[in-house]
Amino acid sequence: MRVDVVTIFPDYLAPLGLSLIGRAREAGLLDLRVHDLRDWTHDRHRTVDDTPYGGGAGMVMRPEPWGEALDALTPAPGGGAGPRLVVPTPAGRRFDQAMAHELAAEPWLLFACGRYEGIDARVVEEAAGSGRVSRVDEVSLGDYVLNGGEVAVLAVVEAVARLLPGVVGNAESLVEESHAASRHGLLEHPVYTKPAAWRGREVPPVLLSGDHGAVARWRRDEALRRTAARRPDLVARLDPAALDRRDLAV
């Protein structure tokens, strides 16, 4: 997978050179390229923003640098499949594990990191109709505001890259975690490791019992309990299979 990121703070994406994602890049599983939007400015001050039409506080990112950047980084219409353009914004569609899987199936993603009050709306309109990108998604991590899209890109790239074959050592661990489809929308159960007793707190005895059926039932019950307590919204959408304990006869 190729991933391009356009930002006025390239150093913000440095963490993508570390650990799991860094190894994926070294292994050639992820071709990550970070670009400075100011490379597509032409004035002495390398200006990327201006005051908003209609008034109001803050500044808006100018369309010209973005237009030139996207033209430079995407194939001309008819020149082959372009990237899926992803624009992190509080006004976007909610990012979730299902979207992570959707994006992980793409051969090429291009992230546009907005700053200030956002990017001139014509940039996304122009890209969507340009024939240079496969589609455009404005994506939100949740109902809160950041100063820029870079932090969101770090989160989305990690959530997506870890799903690529070969990136996570034990693919099995991808199956068991919260929000994975296999968990029917339940949150993950509590996890424990040695020592069996720590500061007077014992690991739940069922986990030491060796009874795999009882462990599976305990984990399912704990996942349900947690989900009901922390995410009642997910309970409303629960897949009935999540409640079916017949499949726990391991």
Range in contact with ligand J9T (rule: CB under 6 A) among 31-39, 122-130, 144-152, 215-223: 144-152
* Distant-in-sequence, close-in-space partners of 105: CB < 8 Å, separation ≥ 6: none
Q: Are 180 and 174 in contact (CB under 8 A)?
A: yes
Q: Which residue in 215, 175, 169 sits closest to 192, CA to CA?
A: 215
Cross-strand pairs, 6: 35, 112
* Alpha helices, H only, 31-188: 63-73, 97-104, 121-128, 150-161, 171-176
Identify the residue among 104, 146, 207, 234 touching ligand J9T (CB under 6 A): 146
Residue 178 as a binder of ligand J9T (CB under 6 A): the answer is no
Is the bond preceding 195 in cis, omega lying within 30 degrees of 0? yes
Of 160 and 223, nearer to ligand J9T (C-beta) is 160
Identify the residue among 54, 78, 145, 197 touching ligand J9T (CB under 6 A): 145
Residue 136 as a binder of ligand J9T (CB under 6 A): the answer is no
Q: How many CA atoms lie within 13 A of 88 on its CB side?
A: 30
Give the number of residues written for the chain. Answer: 250
> What is the closest distance, in whole angstroms, from the C-beta atom of residue 44 to ligand J9T in the complex?
27
Tokens 């546009």, located at residue: 112
Residue 142 as a binder of ligand J9T (CB under 6 A): the answer is yes
Burial class of 225 by CB neighbour count within 10 A (0 to 12, 13 to 18, 19+): middle
Q: Which two tokens stand for residue 117?
A: 């009050």
Identify the residue among 15, 148, 203, 214 touching ligand J9T (CB under 6 A): 148
Of 21 and 156, nearer to ligand J9T (C-beta) is 156
Residue 88 as a binder of ligand J9T (CB under 6 A): the answer is yes
> What is the closest distance, in whole angstroms, from the C-beta atom of residue 60 to ligand J9T in the complex?
12
Site mask, ligand J9T, residues 99-128, x = CB under 6 A? ---------------x--------------
Could you count the other beta carbons within 10 Å of the beta carbon of residue 133?
Answer: 22
Identify the residue among 16, 141, 157, 224 touching ligand J9T (CB under 6 A): 141
Identify the residue among 84, 89, 215, 242 touching ligand J9T (CB under 6 A): 89
Site mask, ligand J9T, residues 195-234, x = CB under 6 A? ----------------------------------------
Q: Which residue in 173, 203, 200, 206 sits closest to 191, CA to CA?
A: 203
> What is the closest distance, in whole angstroms, from the C-beta atom of residue 226 to ligand J9T in the complex?
24
Range in contact with ligand J9T (rule: CB under 6 A) among 147-155, 165-173, 198-206, 234-242: 147-155
The DSSP symbol for 18 reads S
**Contacting positions for ligand J9T (CB under 6 A):** 88-90, 114, 140-142, 144-146, 148-149, 152
